[in-house]
Amino acid sequence: MNRPGVYEVEMVKNTFRDLIYDPAFGGGVPGDRPVKAFIPGGVSAPWFGPDQLDLPLGQDEVGGQGSMLRSGSVVVLDDTTCLVRAAWRITKFFSRESCGQCTPCREGSGWIERAMYRLEHGGGRVEDLELLLDLCDNIAPGLTWPPQQTTICVLGPSIPSSVHAAIEMFKGEFLAHVDKQGCPFD
């Protein structure tokens, strides 16, 4: 963002577009790069695409579209961002965050993180996409919103959000990683 920061906005009155582009708030994307995706409410939230930029900043409005506003920390990903890498880094965060008590979160986060790392750094396989989605499903059955969970606490179903969204929204980018056996953005 041109003006990253913490902003107080009135609920529902403003949209994500306002927040990102209004000079009083985010002030637009550096270099006027197009928004590829954004995370509406913290890294545990499912991602949105540019067509959802006009959603109002409201819990129900965002919730109705299958994500959440919750922490209100909006992350904007422009077209220079590798979304495989972004999803991997988020998973890595959760894998380190996992307390390790329950199996799906402890082992699932580590497995997904390692598979994503492999995809990003060469070694990806086409079948990894299906595998990743299924591992996500074994943590948050049905990959619904609001999520169900096989874990003790809600850190578990936070893990699949980014990976699931990235695969759903940017399958081509994953396949490009497989084709190139590495990251096309490198």
Partner 1 sequence: MTETRTSVTVTVNGRAVEAAPGELLIDVAERAGTYIPRFCYHPRMEPVGMCRMCLVEVEGPRGATLQPACYQHVNDGMVVTTDSPKAKKAQEGVLEFLLANHPLDCPVCDKGGECPLQDQTLTHGPGETRFVEEKRHFVKPIEIGPLVLLDRERCIQCARCTRFAAEVAGDTEIAFAGRGDLIEVAPSPEHPFTSVFSGNTVQICPVGALTAKPYRFAARPWDLDQVESTCTQCAVGCRLAVQSSGDRLTRVLGVDSDPVNHGWLCDKGRFTLDAVDGHGGLSDPLDPRARITSPLVRRDGTLVEATWGEALARAAELLRAAGEADGGVGVIGGAALTNESAYAWARVAREVLGTEHVDAQYGDGLDPRRVLALPGATIDDACAARVVLTLCGDPREELPVLFLRLRGALVRPGHDLVELAVGPSALHPLATVSIPVRPGEAHRVVDALLDEGRAPADLALDDDARERARRLLGDGEGVVVVAGRTNLAEDPSVVERALTRLADALPRARFLVALRRGNVRGAIDAGLAPGLRPGRVLAAGGRDTRAQLAALREGVQRAVLVLGDLVGNVIDRPGAEAALERADVVVVTGHGGATLAHADVVLPAAVQHERAGTVTNLEGRVTAVVPKVVAPGAAWPDVAIAAELARALGADLAMDSVVEAARAYESATGYPALSVLLDSTSEGRVAGSPSAPVARRPLDPMAFPGIRSAEWVGLGESAGDRSPPPRWPTSPRPRCPRCPDATPTASR
Q: What is the closest distance, in whole angstroms, from the C-beta atom of residue 94 to ligand SF4 in the complex?
A: 8
Whole-number Å distance between alpha carbons of 70 and 146 = 12
Helix locations, the chain, DSSP H: 16-21, 59-64, 83-97, 103-120, 127-139, 155-169, 171-180
- Cβ-contact 116, 136 below 8 angstroms: no
Residue nearer to partner 1 on the CB measure, 33 or 118: 118
Residue nearer to ligand SF4 on the CB measure, 105 or 165: 105
Q: What is the closest distance, in whole angstroms, from the C-beta atom of residue 63 to partner 1 in the complex?
A: 16
40 lines the binding site for partner 1 (CB under 8 A): no
- Cβ-contact 136, 46 below 8 angstroms: no
Q: What is the closest distance, in whole angstroms, from the C-beta atom of residue 85 to partner 1 in the complex?
A: 18
Give residue for tokens 């199996």.
Answer: 103
Q: What is the closest distance, in whole angstroms, from the C-beta atom of residue 2 to partner 1 in the complex?
A: 36
126 lines the binding site for partner 1 (CB under 8 A): no
Whole-number Å distance between alpha carbons of 142 and 154 = 15
Give residue for tokens 């598979």.
Answer: 115
Cα separation values, 9 from 13, 18, 97, 164, Å: 8, 10, 30, 29
**In the range 142-171, which residues lie near partner 1 by CB under 8 A?**
148-152
Among 67, 98, 161, 162, binds partner 1 (CB under 8 A): 98
Residues 85-124: x where in contact with ligand SF4 by CB under 6 A, - otherwise, as a string:
-------------xxxxx--xx------------------
Among 17, 33, 114, 121, binds partner 1 (CB under 8 A): 114
Q: Which does 155 bind (CB under 5 to 8 A by kind): partner 1, ligand SF4, none?
A: ligand SF4
Closest CA to 85 of 120, 58, 52, 60: 120
List of residues contacting ligand SF4 (CB under 6 A):
98-102, 105-106, 151-153, 155-156
